[in-house]
Chains A and B, each alone.
Chain A
Amino acid sequence: MKEIKIEHLARVEGHGAITVEIEGKKVKDVRLEVLEGPRLFETITLGKLPSENLSIVPRICAICTLSHKYASLRGLEKCLDIKVPEKTRLLRSLMLHGEAVESHALHVCLLALPDLLGYPNAVAMTDKYAEYVVRGLTMKKFGNQVMETVSARATHGENPIIGGFGRFPTNDELYALKDQVAALIPMACSVIDLVGPMKFPSWLDEETQFACLNPVNKKEYGLVGDSILISDGEELDIEDYKKLTNERVVPHSYAKRSRYKDKPYTVGSIARINLLGDRLKGKAKGYYDRYTSVRWKRNPLFNNMAQAIELLYALEKIPVLVDKLVDMKDPAVVKPGRDAGKGTGGVEAPRGTLFHSYEIKGGRMSKVDIITPTAQNLEDIERYIRIAAQYMLDKGEKDEAIKKQLEIVARAYDPCVSCSAHLVSVVRK
């Protein structure tokens, strides 16, 4: 038996390995091994105050810190019977869109483009495509500025609190964000224009299932919802999230696995675009109409393109949010209506649906369940790696070429291995 092993998947967050076992000419097993040690966040916060939980759990990830913050707020506020006013809701939405800009600009322009353009690494790409790197950095910087304006820090900001915000940004600060968007939209368009016409291999095509949150306003594209939309047409109340995730433990990984109706599913930009894309507006809708096809439901490599469209969507959404916010008075922080309760909050993080489910008793955290997007995607990543490995074997490719292709497939998911609890090794037997 031969084993191809990618001991550390580069250009993804965290420590993961992919092992592919090959017997003769057949792929016998694929294991996406999450090697990050257990993070134990769900235990650390037990017995602590909800406000302490809110400061601790976003430390799960420095990229999706505000997604964790917002999902946590939604779960905690449900438990405590807090309903926040419109301005608080819109400002939280603004911070989430800033995070989407920061995360997607980084992944599409700086981490995925070398794969898509066929370069061996990011440095080689800068020779011919430096302008795209600079555009990516510029949009990333803006995303950070949005997050800093709203949450008080680009990473792990503490301004969003239970019931509202410590301080609302001034209208001048909000206009300063809006004023920059006009120059950034052409940058996002240029990235889609570059990636959009690229051809992705059809040998990877295979149907899968998708899931994302259905936005509260069901006519709009969005990143926050109270129900889960699934590609089989079902819609689950967010409190029933376990009917989607059905988590189980596998021996080769610290991350739990999720399956819906006993099959893998995918969350993230590709899921959102496939399920909600016809609700997009503006230039993002134009690109959606031009580039999406039935193959987007079969091939994970289109996730890179879906992220590029979402980058544009988020940039177009930010001025809309600012215009609404500047006309509203700053509301007071809403106090809890009770000190015990159960509740599940969810947001669409850049990599997909993020669930924070809580129970509070006597004002202290008594149950915590956090399910991250990458953990939900792991089964599908393994499945598509298997397809890619078998195709490359059938073509008689050498191990190094196989490894490279498998890494490209895994990276298309933009996995955050630290969040899910790390990636390729090929074993020939």
Chain B
Amino acid sequence: MSRIGDALHRLEETANRKTAFIGLGNRDRGDDAVGLRFAEDLRRLNPNRIFSEEQGLEEVVLDILMRKDVHSVIFVDTCDFGAEPGEIAFLQSDDIGDEISTHKVPLAMLMALIQKEGKKAYFVGIQPESLDFGKDISEIASASLKRIEEAVEKKLRL
């Protein structure tokens, strides 16, 4: 199975009707907007399970910590894992480092908190082609995002 196929297979195996998804990113920086686009595209299908960083990441996570109907959280974002642009990686929370923070709560800390509450936390990342300011999402990252969205849509219908 290809890397993308493997990541999508793991995403489909992991997600269920008790999974919430949070799209992360920056819409001004090319492919960094894929997570936000993900939330924008799918939120109308189930606003109780699809969230965007733009709603306030810490606030969204705090609410999810209190929710008994959410057993797992999958973050969607770009991620530099040294692969070819458009490749998809499905990562466990242990794979996410204590990243350099920019006045933001480190994602790894939020994932650790989610786990501490007895829920599972995962990360789906697309290898970006470009993170340049003012650029749109690249065609290759868009195509990968579409495949992630198709996989998640099936789960939202559960």
Asked if A13 CB lies within 8 Å of chain B CBs, one says yes
Asked if B131 CB lies within 8 Å of chain A CBs, one says no
| Least Cβ–Cβ distance between A12 and chain B, in angstroms | 8
- The contact string, 1 if C-beta is below 8 Å from chain A, for chain B 50-84, is 00000010110110010000000000000000000
| Least Cβ–Cβ distance between A212 and chain B, in angstroms | 22
Partner of B105, one of A8, A63, A106, A418: A106
Partner of A111, one of B56, B59, B101, B108: B101
Bound: A103/B109 CA distance, A: 17
Chain A residues with Cβ below 8 Å from B103 are 12-13, 62-63, 103, 106, 416
A137 adjacent to B101 (CB under 8 Å): no
- Give residues of chain A (129-143) contacting chain B, Cβ–Cβ below 8 Å: 130, 133-134, 137-138, 140-141
Partner of A121, one of B98, B102, B113: B98
- Give residues of chain B (84-117) contacting chain A, Cβ–Cβ below 8 Å: 98, 100-103, 105-106, 108-109, 112-113, 116
B113 adjacent to A141 (CB under 8 Å): no
Partner of B113, one of A14, A62, A120, A133: A133
B113 adjacent to A126 (CB under 8 Å): yes
Bound: A122/B62 CA distance, A: 17
| Least Cβ–Cβ distance between B111 and chain A, in angstroms | 8
A123 adjacent to B108 (CB under 8 Å): yes
Chain B residues with Cβ below 8 Å from A428 are none
Q: Which residue of B lies closest to A120 (CB)?
A: B98
Asked if A11 CB lies within 8 Å of chain B CBs, one says yes
B102 adjacent to A13 (CB under 8 Å): yes
Which secondary structure characterizes the binding site on chain B?
Answer: helix
Asked if A72 CB lies within 8 Å of chain B CBs, one says no
| Least Cβ–Cβ distance between B75 and chain A, in angstroms | 15
A10 adjacent to B109 (CB under 8 Å): no
Which secondary structure characterizes the binding site on chain A?
Answer: helix
Partner of B112, one of A13, A120, A123, A418: A123
The number of A-B residue pairs with CB atoms under 8 Å apart is 68
A137 adjacent to B105 (CB under 8 Å): yes
Asked if A154 CB lies within 8 Å of chain B CBs, one says yes
Q: Which residue of A lies closest to B58 (CB)?
A: A137
Bound: A125/B109 CA distance, A: 9
Asked if A409 CB lies within 8 Å of chain B CBs, one says no
Asked if A144 CB lies within 8 Å of chain B CBs, one says yes
Asked if A110 CB lies within 8 Å of chain B CBs, one says yes
Q: Which residue of A lies closest to B61 (CB)?
A: A137
| Least Cβ–Cβ distance between B101 and chain A, in angstroms | 5
| Least Cβ–Cβ distance between B48 and chain A, in angstroms | 19
| Least Cβ–Cβ distance between B98 and chain A, in angstroms | 4
Bound: A13/B105 CA distance, A: 11
Bound: A106/B56 CA distance, A: 14
Chain A residues with Cβ below 8 Å from B100 are 8, 10-11
B56 adjacent to A141 (CB under 8 Å): yes
Bound: A138/B105 CA distance, A: 12
Q: Which residue of A lies closest to B115 (CB)?
A: A126
Known: A11-B101, A62-B103, A126-B116. A133 touches B62 (CB 8 A): no
Residue positions of A touching B, CB distance < 8 A? 8, 10-14, 62-63, 103, 106, 110-111, 120-123, 125-127, 130, 133-134, 137-138, 140-141, 144, 154, 416, 418
Pairs A–B under 8 Å by Cβ, sample size 7: A11-B101, A11-B106, A12-B101, A110-B109, A123-B109, A126-B109, A138-B62
With contacts A11-B106, A140-B58 known, what are 14 further pairs, Cβ within 8 A?
A: A10-B100, A10-B101, A11-B100, A12-B101, A103-B103, A106-B105, A110-B106, A121-B106, A123-B106, A123-B112, A126-B116, A133-B109, A134-B65, A144-B56
Q: Which 9 A-B pairs have the closest CB atoms?
A: A121-B98, A126-B112, A13-B103, A122-B109, A123-B108, A123-B112, A11-B101, A63-B103, A137-B58
